[in-house]
Structure 1
């Protein structure tokens, strides 16, 4: 599904909680998650220096964040099943939190267990 520029602009400006809800619904709808990759996946840090890995619901949103230190990164798709079964448990073991729907200003940062529960609850609706 292609997004129009207006939708991208409007959704990108939503508060983090609304972008998180959008993320959960869209990744459940299309069974894919997007990250940025260039010789490794994009990683950022919170204010305390803890590692964060950013994820987006659509390629277009990830591309908008491929700027500055991520300017050479490309949007890469991750199958939702792999994300839930492999990525998130691996990130938890490595002490990396998900940064959901970064918009170059802020993102929803939460525990992996919460993210898994929210995704599974949304998937049960299908």
Structure 2
């Protein structure tokens, strides 16, 4: 995964100084990231840097300062490493130095979100890629006024996946023939390529999906990775 370019990585000597200030060793994965780049981000998450005298203005809100401020407002052992600007925080619940946890400022609770920092970074990259896929869908279909999909029969059996958001399904739609054909695998090899006029999609399919409680998967990749979108939101986006 590529991160936004930040500041030069931190030396081992400086990392040891920070650990002395904190009173504990930094998680090994986090140390590795700091050695590569001091100030980095993943999606909406801005990771707290290590204070660097060469870039004092850009590293003033450093990881030591953050964790020494308002510590009483957080659970014991919660080591904060990133914030998203909404009040939520990301970090470790020490002594567990592997699992990434989220502090939900509204619920005032910690929730595990990834087994490792690398896994969290990968999740954020997938979300970013999926959002770009959806944006590309909207831009393309508004221009071509055509939506594509795969169907077992020409009149029924639309390709779908079980939803991760509840006991319902995600129907897959694509902005190009090529995108739909890329998913003719894993049991869908004999599915028909179907073209829908945009008005048929907006006037018929989406209202019916809203009524049935289904989700839209827009421009999912061949690995069936993508966002699960509420058809009501999709309809609003297409109708402007």
Confirm or deny a common fold (TM above 0.5). Answer: yes
Contact 1:97 1:111 in 2 (8 A): yes
| Greater mean alpha carbon deviation, residues 21-30 or residues 94-103 | 94-103
1:102 aligned onto 2:216: no
Matched ranges for 1:1-126 at <5 A: 15-39=129-153, 40-47=157-164, 48-105=166-223, 106-121=225-240
Following TM superposition, where does structure 1 have runs of at least 4 consecutive aligned residues deviating by more than 3 angstroms?
Answer: none
Q: Which has the larger radius of gyration?
A: 2
C-alpha distance in 2, partners of 1:96/1:20? Answer: 17
1 CA distance for matches of 2:169 and 2:159?
A: 10
Deviation at 1:49, TM superposition (A): 4.3
Q: Counting helix residues as a fraction of each chain, which structure ranks higher?
A: 1
Secondary structure, aligned partner of 2:187: helix
> How much is the aligned-residue C-alpha RMSD, in angstroms?
1.4
What is the distance in 1 between the residues matched to 2:137 and 2:217?
11
Q: CA deviation at 1:53?
A: 0.2
Paired residues in the alignment total 108
**Contact 1:63–1:74 (8 Å) recurs in 2:** no
Q: Which ranges in structure 2 are unaligned for 5 or more consecutive residues?
A: 1-127
CA contact (8 A) 1:56 1:62 kept: yes
Contact 2:214 2:230 in 1 (8 A): no
Please list the CA deviations of residues 51-89 of structure 1 after superposition, one character each: whole Å capped at 9, or x if unmatched: 110000001100000101211112210110010001001
| Larger RCO: 1 or 2 (CA < 8 Å, sep 6+) | 1
Question: TM-score, structure 1 length as denominator?
Answer: 0.80
Tell me by how many angstroms 1:50 deviates: 2.0
Structure 1, unaligned stretches of length 5 or more?
A: 1-13, 122-126
Contact 1:99 1:108 in 2 (8 A): yes
